[in-house]
Structure 1
Amino acid sequence: MTLERIKLGQYGEEKAAKYLLKQGVKILEKNYRCGYGEIDIIAKDKDTLVFVEVKTRKTSTYLSPFLAVNKHKQLQISKVAVHYLLEKKIQEMPCRFDVMIVVDKDIDWIRGAFERRV
């Protein structure tokens, strides 16, 4: 991954986190990593634990960045989420998987973008 792409991703993740905070969502973790991979943002939206994948692009294209969150990526995020739940000993809390798309100054927040995969 090039330095430019890393910086673009960091920009998008920071913009997404600020947006979530303005919406009253509490940020618990950023760039949570384990052996299965990484989740960009882990947050709490009222009583729901939210695992957020952020996709950032410089310009809008006919192919949505949402398409980059394919079944393989969903499985990876799901495994990281389960690891997080076990590590933090969280048992009975509703969970949701969201995708946030950042293109320039626009943000699209897709709540419940996919279900947990195993």
Structure 2
Amino acid sequence: MQWIKQQLSGILGRDAEQRARHYLESQGLKYIQGNYRCKAGEIDLIMRENQELVFVEVKYRTKQTHGNAAEYFDMHKRRKFEAALQHYLCANQLNPASIAHRIDVVAIDGQQIQWIKYV
């Protein structure tokens, strides 16, 4: 039963990330990479808006009985996300002081998509 839940969660997560990607592309952002993983953490989507790199965390909830999706990007998750972001920049020889970048959240609650810039 646990294995089935994990598989379903993975499918829902990939679907949510695809929905977020398509939504952001429809808003003019360009896709660079998805599912960047390192020991520090992971980044769901890496996009570009004009000359700025946009690192995106995608949160998805089918129901709001335990809060909305955006609430799940807490300080602990943000610290891990920022560590993964720094790892990405370093691995790609990008100086965080000279490259424009930001963190955004795409929160999907059922069919509703909320794009939160500059989290």
Mapping of residues 71-86 of structure 1, within 5 Å? 71-86=75-90
| Letter paired with 1:39 | I
2:75 is equivalent to residue 102 of structure 1: no
| Letter paired with 2:113 | I
Q: Please name the residue that 1:59 is paired with.
A: 63
Task: State the identity as a percent.
Answer: 34
Q: Distance in 2 between matches of 1:14 and 1:61?
A: 24
SS of equivalent residue, structure 2 residue 43: strand
Q: Please name the residue that 1:33 is paired with.
A: 37
- The Cα offsets for residues 36-84 of structure 1, whole Å up to 9 and x where unpaired, read as 1110001111111111000011133461221211111100000000010
Instruction: Answer yes or no: is the 8 Å Cα contact 1:8–1:57 preserved in 2.
Output: no
Q: How far off is 1:12 after superposition? A: 0.5
Equivalent pairs counted in the alignment come to 113
| Letter paired with 1:79 | A
Q: Distance in 1 between matches of 2:66 and 2:41?
A: 28
1:111 to 97, 104, 117: 117
- The normalised TM-score by structure 2 is 0.88
Q: CA RMSD in A?
A: 1.3
When Rg is computed on C-alpha atoms for both structures, the one with the higher figure is: 2
Runs of 4+ in 1 over 2 A off after TM superposition: 59-62
Unpaired runs of 5+ residues, structure 2, are none
Q: Please name the residue that 2:25 is paired with.
A: 21
- The normalised TM-score by structure 1 is 0.89
